[in-house]
Amino acid sequence: MGTVIGIARRESKRAVMETLESAIISDETGVADDFRGTSNLRQVTLLSAMVWNKVCQEVNRDLPWTTRRANLLIDGLEFPQQKGELLKIGEVLLQITMEMKPCYRMDEQFTGLKEALKPEWRGGICCKVLHGGSVTIGDQIYITSK
């Protein structure tokens, strides 16, 4: 089991990430008002705090987690590196659709970040929403079989 320790969204492609205390997640919009939420395979993105800290150590820079441009920062849970696995946060049910592969934007943020995020799904995971609801900082998240 893990814990949601960060929530963020952005209004448009290159917009600054806005951090939140809570958010509504739906199967129609992903994280409410996040521009990528309508993409079926990438409605909600999750990043591991533990992995992010390792990446920051590797690049020798303490970068804010929102640099990765993920929606949820999770502490204490290793993500399955397999499509189809399910994650539950309260009433929200997410299905992993793919690895969140790092793009050139990461090196725009900090040189070497893209390469540091490449191995072993370090960049995070993309999910589609199977069942929506509210997510708040401090909520528990766990892997489930439905």
H or E segment to which residue 58 belongs: helix 49-59
Tell me the C-alpha distance between 61 and 41, whole Å.
31
Both tokens of residue 92?
Answer: 């929200």
Domain boundaries, the chain: 2-144
The CATH architecture to which 2-144 belongs is Beta Barrel (2.40)
Tell me the C-alpha distance between 20 and 71, whole Å.
10
Q: pLDDT tens digits for the chain (146 residues)?
A: 999 999 999 998 888 999 999 999 999 999 999 988 877 788 999 999 999 999 999 999 999 999 999 999 999 999 999 999 999 999 999 999 999 999 888 998 899 999 999 999 999 999 999 999 999 999 999 999 76
Neighbours of 19 (CB within 10 A): 14
Query: E strands along 58-117, which residues?
Result: 72-75, 86-89, 92-99
